[in-house]
Amino acid sequence: MVSETISRIAKAAAIGTALPVLLLAYLSGLDAGVSGVPGEDTCTRCHSGPPGSGSVSVAFPGALTYAPGVRQHLVVNITDPAGKRWGFQLTARLANSASTQAGAFAAGADGFTQLVCTQTNFRSQEFGNACATNGMALEYIEHTQSGSRLGTAGAVTFEFDWTPPATNAGNLTVYLAAVAANGDNSDRGDHTYTARYTLTPASAGPTPAPAISSGGVVNAANFQPGISAGSWVTIHGLNLAGNTRAWGSADFVNGALPTQLDGVSVKIDGKPAYVAYISPSQINVQAPADSALGPVPVEVTYNGATSPPGTAQLQAVSPGFFLWSGKYAVATRPDFSLVAPAGLFQAVTSVAAKPGEVIILWGTGFGATNPPVAPGVLPPSNPVAYLANPVTVTIGNVAATVVGAAIAPGNPGLYQIAVQVPGSVPDGDLAVVAQGNGIQSPAGTLLSVKR
């Protein structure tokens, strides 16, 4: 019964009608060449209507610059109060040669975007995910049929990645055309928009070297010292990255976690870590496999400049619970409703734990699993990877029954510890402490209990 319960909890955490004759509903997608490049077309080629009161824009990760060969995450925003169906096409060209492709695109993981490639004479085109390998010189990113989102009113976004040319190509121009359709399955009464951006090469001056703060390498769950192989690690410092973003599906290759994002990489004890989030002042990584114990060096490299080493305390395990509001253990019930003091979140209901009920505590650094899950890969849903060594949990200094402990399917380094709240504990904010392999989670983590 216990194994069935934790298995159910762990698995729960994993994450032909005829088409109208309308470009927005094409199963294959828009024809190439309607993004507004000089000498090409825009969406007005097929859609007509009075001027709209909306707009189209691109959100770039920073200033209108590019670093050669460094991928950027772009977001197209289309707004129109009358829009009920949506589409776009975007491309990038050399500013001094509108017929020369600049960089390559990668469709987003949500299925809302795709690539279309064509020859420079537009006599043939292909849809797919690897334009550069099929001999087509020009490349566009655009919506898919599902991305047109019939019935969605007011605004939509489309997300994808773009990698600029590998070397300094001078100024680049991004061309964008979009349509906010009225959803009546005709090409009349729709609103079209265009936008254009000029990107300049990033300054060729020396990039400031990244610097790790003193004591800046900590357990990502609770920001306390002590990390372990496969655990989540936070690094604080300066000049750690040139932009802010988390990893996306395009960063994974054959299921392997990325070891760099946009020119940012990390080594812990000389071994590449797996980079999940970057910003100028903070990086989150999964620690690599390592049998060493004690202080080890940590280095951040950004665009070829490497930081002076920081120091991490590497342990066999580093159990820690993620925190809400800096003090409450992240906890849920088996149905994933939130276990926390009432009113802790403005827009989401939370209810304190009740004595006797089973809750799930979420953490990192609890160590090896059976079957083993190596750092740098996505944990499987089947079989469930249970904690290899026993873990104990106390709530309010009273031993709680551990129902089961496993790594969350599809979530590297994230552990679920299912416990039954002791029936004898009083109401209030009670200390919750886990222990595994003789190492305790840090003090100061609380669980709110109320009958």
Q: Summarize pLDDT for 150-202 with one digit per residue, the tens.
A: 999 999 999 999 999 888 888 999 999 999 998 887 778 899 999 999 999 98
Q: At 321, is the secondary structure helix, strand, or coil?
A: strand
Between 362 and 128, name the one with better pLDDT.
362
Can you tell me the mean pLDDT for 425-436?
97
Which of 395, 386, 397 has the alpha carbon at shortest distance from 2?
A: 386
Report whether pLDDT(3) > 60.
Answer: no
- Domains parsed from the chain with CATH numbers: 23-201 (2.60.40.680), 211-315 (2.60.40.10), 319-449 (2.60.40.10)
Query: Rounded to an integer, what distance in angstroms lies between the CA atom of residue 116 and that of residue 305?
Result: 36
Burial 423-444 (b: 16+ CB within 10 A, else e): eebeeeebebbbebbebebbee
Cα 6 to Cα 295: distance, rounded to the nearest angstrom: 35
For residue 14, is pLDDT > 70?
no
Cβ(227)–Cβ(314) below 8 Å: yes
Q: Residue 125 has what pLDDT?
A: 67
pLDDT of residue 24: 30
pLDDT at 328 > cutoff 50: yes
Q: Does the pLDDT at position 210 exceed 90?
A: yes
Burial of 44 (0-12, 13-18, 19+ CB in 10 A): middle
pLDDT at 353: 98
User: How many CB atoms neighbour CB 349 within 10 A?
Assistant: 11
d(CA 207, CA 373) in angstroms, rounded, equals 37
CB atoms within 10 A of CB 18: 5
Cα 403 to Cα 359: distance, rounded to the nearest angstrom: 9
Tokens representing 43 are 């969406």
**Does position 9 have pLDDT exceeding 70, yes or no?**
no
Token pair listed for 440:
């305790």
- Note whether 140 and 116 are within 8 A (CB): yes
Residue 10 pLDDT = 41
387-424 pLDDT, tens digit each: 999 999 999 999 999 999 999 999 999 999 999 999 99
Mean pLDDT of the 296-318 span = 95
- Determine the distance from the C-alpha atom of residue 355 to the mean position of all C-alpha atoms in its chain, rounded to a whole number: 36
The model's confidence at residue 5, banded by pLDDT at 50, 70 and 90, is very low
Task: Compute the mean pLDDT over every residue in the chain, rounded to the nearest whole number.
Answer: 87
Q: What is the average pLDDT across 71-94?
A: 94
Is the predicted pLDDT of residue 1 greater than 50, yes or no? Answer: no
**Where is pLDDT greater, at 108 or 132?**
108
Q: How confident is the model at residue 357 (pLDDT cuts 50, 70, 90)?
A: very high
Among 400, 410, 334, 364, which residue's Cα sits nearest to residue 5? 334
Q: How far apart are CA 348 and CA 407, in angstroms?
A: 26
pLDDT of residue 251: 85
pLDDT of residue 16: 22
Q: Which helix (H) or strand (E) holds 181?
A: strand 172-181
Question: Which structure tokens are listed for 55?
Answer: 């707009």
pLDDT at 4 over 50: no
| Statement: residue 26 has pLDDT above 70 | no
DSSP state string for 246-268: E--GGG-BTTBPPSEETTEEEEE
Which residue from 449, 412, 409, 406 is spatially nearest to 431, judged by alpha carbons?
Answer: 449
Within 10 A of 342 (CB to CB), how many other CB atoms are there?
A: 11
pLDDT tops 80 at residue 15: no
Summarize pLDDT for 234-263 with one digit per residue, the tens: 999 998 987 778 888 778 888 899 999 988
Cβ partners under 8 Å of residue 21, min gap 6: none
Mean pLDDT of 99-109: 89
pLDDT tens profile 219-233:
999 999 999 999 999
pLDDT band at 20 (very low <50, low <70, confident <90, very high): very low
Confidence of residue 56 (pLDDT cuts 50, 70, 90): very high
Report pLDDT for 134: 52
**Between these two residues, 116 and 298, which has the higher pLDDT value?**
298
Question: Tell me, what's the pLDDT at 253?
Answer: 85
| Among 50-59, 280-289, 355-364, 390-399, the least confident range | 50-59
